[in-house]
């Protein structure tokens, strides 16, 4: 579900009126929240800032429309924020200093950093325990949901409660495990449990559709490949129990790039997953 709202602020010699909103373009952003735009007074105007309360990096597309003012940067802007904090991105200066000035702002955001570069030489572990075998029920460019922002995602069909293990080392930065419903209702896109792990190259790995209360990690926790992440489930928009796995970086506030990955299995030491094929973890 996409929110479509905007913000309006008027600030000047007659005081200030503020109404704020945001447009979040991905389910993960909708579910977690924790992002807003604020302003603060500086010499000759206002400084506009992104406030991120999440541990994870985010990327935004921001459009500021000034009223009797100008910004320091052309719009729209694409801004990447590395983690929690208040991050300035432009300044607003009045044109006629003896009159009110203000702005409208619209922003979309999603998790991930633009600057990340995926290590294509890395061979991932299968995200389940040694000796377990599961089939790829939807592969790269899958016709059900693997297009656009999920081009290179992979779904492993598995029973609910299957232990999920880290496919690569990194740091856990987002954990959601409060939802308990799943099915083919599109409204359930915003009711999915997942874990995001920031990897050494700056990309994120996502482990999605986990069981309610199934996360076995916490934000800020370092994990090694093979460490237990959580338990699989059937939450969110889904046609059956499975694990959705993808590696990505942000492009802007609405789009992300997923990367093809290769897994090590008993069947093949380094192969891209193929839909309809079962793989056994070494």
pLDDT at residue 31 in the model: 83
pLDDT of residue 71 exceeding 60: yes
pLDDT per residue as tens digits for the range 119-147: 999 999 999 999 999 999 999 999 999 99
pLDDT of residue 3 exceeding 80: no
Question: Which of 108, 153, 156 lies closest to 132 in space, CA to CA?
Answer: 156
Question: Which of 226, 248, 282, 281 lies closest to 111 in space, CA to CA?
Answer: 248
Question: Which of 237, 239, 240, 197 lies closest to 215 in space, CA to CA?
Answer: 197
pLDDT per residue as tens digits for the range 194-219: 999 999 999 999 999 999 999 999 99
DSSP labels for 208-255?
ESEEEEEE---TT-EE-TT-EEEEEB--EE-SSSEEEEEEEEESSSS-
pLDDT at residue 27 in the model: 67
Asked whether the whole model's pTM tops 0.85, one would answer yes
Q: What radius of gyration do the chain's Cα atoms show?
A: 21
The span from the CA of 206 to the CA of 169, in Å, is 13
DSSP, collapsed to helix, strand or coil, labels residue 186 as helix
pLDDT per residue as tens digits for the range 13-28: 333 333 344 444 456 7
Domains belonging to the chain, first-starting first, are 7-111 (2.60.40), 123-280 (2.70.70.10)
Supply the mean pLDDT for the chain. Answer: 91
DSSP, collapsed to helix, strand or coil, labels residue 147 as coil
Residue 86 β-bridge partners: 51
pLDDT at residue 30 in the model: 75
């Amino acid at each position: 579900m996409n929110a479509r709202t905007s913000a309006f602020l008027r600030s000047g010699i007659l005081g200030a009126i503020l109404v704020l909103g945001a447009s979040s373009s991905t389910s993960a952003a909708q579910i977690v929240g924790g992002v807003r735009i604020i302003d603060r007074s500086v010499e000759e105007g206002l400084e506009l800032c992104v406030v991120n309360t999440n541990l994870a990096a985010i990327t935004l597309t921001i459009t500021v429309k000034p009223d009797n003012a100008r910004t320091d940067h052309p719009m729209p802007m694409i801004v990447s924020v590395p983690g929690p904090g208040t991050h300035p991105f432009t300044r607003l200066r009045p044109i006629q200093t003896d009159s009110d000035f203000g702005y409208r702002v619209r922003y979309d955001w999603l998790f991930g950093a633009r600057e990340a570069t995926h290590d294509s030489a890395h061979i991932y572990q299968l995200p389940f325990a040694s000796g377990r075998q599961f089939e790829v029920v939807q592969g790269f460019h899958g016709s059900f949901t693997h297009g656009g922002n999920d081009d290179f995602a992979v779904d492993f069909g598995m029973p609910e409660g299957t232990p999920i293990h880290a496919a690569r080392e990194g740091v856990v930065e987002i954990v959601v495990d409060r939802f308990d419903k799943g099915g083919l209702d599109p409204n359930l896109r915003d009711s999915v449990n997942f874990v995001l792990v920031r990897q050494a190259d700056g990309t994120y790995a996502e482990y999605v559709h986990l069981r309610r209360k199934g996360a076995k990690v916490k934000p800020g926790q370092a994990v090694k490949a093979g460490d237990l992440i959580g338990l699989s489930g059937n939450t969110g928009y889904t046609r059956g129990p499975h694990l959705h796995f993808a590696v990505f970086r942000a492009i802007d506030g609405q789009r992300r790039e997923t990367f093809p990955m290769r897994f090590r299995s008993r069947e093949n030491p380094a192969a891209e997953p193929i839909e309809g094929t079962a793989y056994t973890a070494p």
